[in-house]
Structure 1
Amino acid sequence: MQQQNSLVKQNISTYDMQKGSWMMTAKIISQDLLEFLGKSTSPYHTVATSADILESSGFMELKAGETWNLQVGGTYYIRIYDSSLIAFHISGIPRAGLRIAAAHTDFPCLKIKPAASISMHGYGKVNVEVYGGMIRSSWLDRPLSVAGKVVLRGENPFHPVIKLVDARRPVMTIPNLAIHMNRQINEGIELNPQKDMLPLMTMTGEKKNEEFFLDFLSSEFSCEKKDILSYELTIYPTETGCRMGLKNEFISSPRLDNLTSVKACLTGIIEGKREDGIDVIALFDNEEVGSSTKQGAGSFVLPHVLQRVYTALGFTAEDYLVDIACGFMLSLDVAHAMHPNVPEKNDITNFPVLNGGVTLKIAASQAYAGDAEAIAVVTALCQDENIPFQYFVNRSDIKGGSTLGSILSANLPIRTMDIGVPILAMHSARETMGIKDQEAMENLLCKFFS
């Protein structure tokens, strides 16, 4: 086996040939997850970190604008506009079965607008917009930083220079209004995203038109201000994730939705390589805003990549369509755990709890992909490996969220099942999960790809 990055548990997981099950330590897995979360401060950094993990495990990068020369036994990955990634392994008899696992790299956050500097009454604020369905109040009074990409002038206008950046230090905050100035604050307050969610970054004094944010980018990331053509920057909480609870049985961290799933996909395809078949992971951007982008699950990027793989291996279009019809896909995204203080928000018989294992997500509306056969497949995989699992179904009078599973399977008609780890405070600046659930999910992905 190739040398592996520490994030995928070198010398930590072993395969017990007698029992046929993956033996992993939840504590070590949670530490790997926390390390991954700490590095993945924007979708671009999630992809860059994932690429580093894959390359350290022997995966070779492909370019979309080049012809692919693929070999049986090869492991490959391709970046899709730097914020999505598809990786695959071709083994033995490639047409022995197609298996896919998909997740998303993005998360609800604040994104910085162009012309971001706002000088008002001596305060320097940053103009932002809300990305995804974030719980706005959870972002107040936290130390915040900036990560993403800055695009610089190049020699050719069609080929600008891309620079990934991460300040990795607190540079702004969104202050709450004191209770003395809003006596009704504990009765609930609506936060206007254009007025109440603007981060404070500096004091400008009497300077009215100072471009302090561009000055910050120029000095912080060593680039000439005149060369900055654009940027796509994410604001994130600088407080790192941690284990917590009386028995350290919980993980509290930003971005559990949905980097828990990204991490499980990476572990699965690296450690669980089959002897025959084609294994694929697809990590998409823009799920939180509908997936209808060139790098989102609503595009045809995954079908196109798969078609190129089959063509490069000498297979026909008919071969590809047959394997799609016989294949299987897991769509990974977090699930709503039963809230300890508001249990009535969950279904009366299908309510996942923290540390209860992998959650199978089911919806009559097909907001979650899956059918009886798909449920049976995942159930059997879990039972064969003694992997704990549970079910999530929305209360019949509450509309739930959706995932990329149904979107993907509409463009790629392959049998699909939505699964995830259960968490509390989904879409908060900081979420909570059970330490054992990541272990269960990674065990399932290893089994799926083995």
Structure 2
Amino acid sequence: MTSVEHILDLRDFIAASPSSFHAAHTAGQRLAAAGFTQLAEDEQWPVHGKFFMIRDGAIIAWVVPPKATATTGFNILGAHTDSPSFKLKPKSTTGRFGWLQAGVEVYGGPLINSWLDRELQFAGRLVDLDGSEKLVATGPLLRFPQLAIHLDRSSNDGLQLDKQQHMNPIWGQGNPQGEDLLGLLAQRAGVDAKTIGGYDIVVADTQPGQLFGARNEFFAAGRMDNLTSVHAGLVALIAAADAVAEGGDQPIPVLAAFDHEEIGSGSRSGACGPILEDVLTRVSDSLGASVSDRRRAFANSMCVSADAGHAVHPNYSERHDPANLPVLNGGPLLKINANQRYATDGVGAAFWAKLCAAAGAPYQEFVSNNTVPCGSTIGPLTATRLGIRTLDVGTPLLSMHSARELCGVNDPFYLTRIAETFFAGTVS
């Protein structure tokens, strides 16, 4: 697969994944087509083979090689399925002056102005009173309309958006007393609105991903933070799976794509929750591990936390560290922070250098400007919860948390090659 073929596959994956629930479902479909077996959490799990499980908007997949033992370690690539957006509130049908509007709540930290004047969709899950779930994606339905400059001559001097007053999207015309947005979502999903007991619905961009630039070296799409990493890990695990399943005593490769990273990861499907430990414990238990054996397995493990990172912005270079200026198409980032906002340490950095060399892929180092607060990832959370050595990496982006982000065509491809080498377990 070339980098262009890879980016077009990423484009399709993003289009099929407008919410975290869709991302987990789409990944599960690809894994099943590649011979992985989906496991339910309330069932007994088999030992050797290719498996995955889905918990809400998170998915974890793994391959247990035939020679794995109770102390075999794990090579884990961690990512997240959610992206900054807006989430549908209760009593969601609102409006006035003949407009139908929706009540939404800010989810995470979106670059709010980037969501204006776009054709958007609602996407997520509807939950029936009997507990069954149905995914829905409406296609183009709503828009956050910007105020015309004629009515605010100062808007180009500093746009001020009130999250409650101004971020109420329009989705039709009529009287909100006689219309029902939830009913429309139920109709689009093919279910009876009267049976819906709950929902988790977000707003997502509908514009397809696009190659552009003088040499088609750029790629723009929504939700690349962090579907680039989910996709890279998914493609890499599928590529490495058969060799691992028929192989020797290499580490057990694991793709862990969590939900809720953008809001702190504090959920049953987030990195602060027990989902990864649950899976690793059950896999170790199936191999006959004692508590001591499991701790030995964790000591033999490595986690690569793969998220997005910042490329140098040509118009705001003063916001970057002057000596570390990552560029698009220069390779994935090794993310470093003295205060452990990223989990990379010297041992992890050396491992990453060796891994990239084995994969034949370049990489770049990223560190924040001392005057700019550093974000964080699932990396420190995983290291803290499980004691597994963890390093932070990611695809360099411009416009992170915009409705439409920008990356280089080569960088997601490089990350996938590195992830496949990691999962193959040939570098230690």
TM range (shorter): over 0.9
2:7 paired residue among 30, 39, 61: 30
* 1:324 aligned to which of 285, 290, 298: 298
- CA distance in 2 between counterparts of 1:153 and 1:97 reads 41
Equivalent in the alignment of 2:47: 70
Tell me the secondary structure at the aligned position of residue 35 of structure 2: coil
User: What amino acid does structure 1 have at the position aligned with 2:30?
Assistant: I
Of stretches 49-58 and 96-105 in structure 1, the one that deviates more from structure 2 is 96-105
Instruction: Please give the alpha-carbon distance, in whole angstroms, between the structure 2 residues aligned to 1:42 and 1:208.
Output: 26
Any residues of structure 2 matched to 1:236-255 within 5 Å, and which?
236-255=204-223
User: Shift in Å at residue 210 of structure 1?
Assistant: 2.2
> Of 111, 115, 121, which residue of structure 2 is paired with 1:135?
111
Query: Which residue of the other structure, out of 186, 196, 199, is the alignment partner of 2:156?
Result: 186
2:259 is equivalent to residue 285 of structure 1: yes
Tell me the percent identity.
38
Instruction: Give the distance between the partners of 1:313 and 1:218, measured in 2 at CA.
Output: 44
Distance 2:204 2:278 in 1: 33
Q: Which amino acid aligns with 2:205?
A: P
| Aligned residue number for residue 223 of structure 1 | 191
Contact 1:77 1:85 (C-alpha < 8 Å) held by counterparts? yes
Is 1:211 aligned to 2:187, yes or no?
A: no
* Residues 3-402 of structure 1 aligned to structure 2 (within 5 Å): 12=1, 25-71=2-48, 74-80=49-55, 82-95=56-69, 96-154=72-130, 160-168=131-139, 170-204=140-174, 207=175, 209-273=177-241, 274=244, 275=247, 276=249, 277-402=251-376
Q: State TM-score, norm by structure 2.
A: 0.95
Cα distance in 1, alignment partners of residues 355 and 283 from structure 2? 27
> What runs of 5+ residues in structure 2 fail to find an aligned partner?
none
Aligned-partner SS, 2:25: helix
Task: State how far apart, in whole Å, the 2-side matches of 1:104 and 1:54 are.
Answer: 17
The answer to whether the Cα contact below 8 Å between 1:357 and 1:387 also exists between their aligned partners in 2 is yes
Query: Is the contact between residue 272 and residue 445 of structure 1 (CA under 8 Å) also seen in structure 2?
Result: no
Distance 1:306 1:411 in 2: 12
Which amino acid letter does the alignment assign opposite residue 165 of structure 1?
A: V
Q: Distance in 2 between matches of 1:385 and 1:84?
A: 28
Residues 177-217 of structure 1: per-residue CA shift (max 9 Å, x gap): 0111111101112211111111011111xx35223312312
Residue of 391, 396, 406 corresponding to 1:422: 396
Distance, in Å, in 1 between the alignment partners of 2:215 and 2:95 is 48
**Structure 1 unaligned spans of 5+:** 1-11, 13-24, 155-159
Larger mean Cα displacement after TM superposition, 364-373 or 273-282: 273-282
Displacement of 1:152:
1.8
Distance 1:105-1:208 versus aligned 2 partners, 3 A rule: closer
Tell me if structure 1 keeps the 8 A contact 2:78–2:306: yes
SS of match in other structure, 2:129 = strand
Q: 2:189 and 2:378 mapped to 1: Cα distance?
A: 34
C-alpha separation in 2, matches of 1:92 and 1:358: 32
Secondary structure, in 3 states, of the residue corresponding to 2:166? coil
- Secondary structure of the 1:445 match is helix
Q: Secondary structure at the match of 1:150?
A: strand
Relative to the length of structure 1, the TM-score reads 0.90
Query: How many residue pairs were aligned?
Result: 416
Q: Is the 8 A contact 2:136 2:185 kept in 1?
A: no
- Secondary structure of residue in 2 paired with 1:320: helix
Contact 2:100 2:176 in 1 (8 A): no
After TM superposition, the structure 1 stretch with the greater mean CA deviation from structure 2, 264-273 or 399-408, is: 264-273
Q: Secondary structure at the match of 1:365?
A: coil
Q: 1:101–1:282: 8 Å Cα contact kept in structure 2? A: yes
Separation in structure 2 between the aligned mates of residue 44 and residue 52 of structure 1, nearest angstrom: 12
Divergent runs of 4+, >4 A: none
Q: Give 1:65 shift.
A: 1.1
CA distance in structure 2 between the aligned counterparts of 1:214 and 1:88, rounded to whole angstroms: 37
CA distance in 2, matches of 1:264, 1:163: 27
Tell me the distance in 2 between the aligned counterparts of 1:340 and 1:208: 46
Q: Which moved more, 1:394-403 or 1:282-291?
A: 394-403
Report what 1:436 is aligned to: 410
**2: CA distance, partners of 1:316 / 1:57:** 32
Cα shift readout 1:37-91 (whole Å, capped 9, x = no counterpart):
11011000000000011111111111111121222xx0111111x2001111011
Report the secondary structure of 1:151's partner residue: strand
Helix, strand or coil at the partner of 1:324 = helix
Shift of 1:124: 0.8
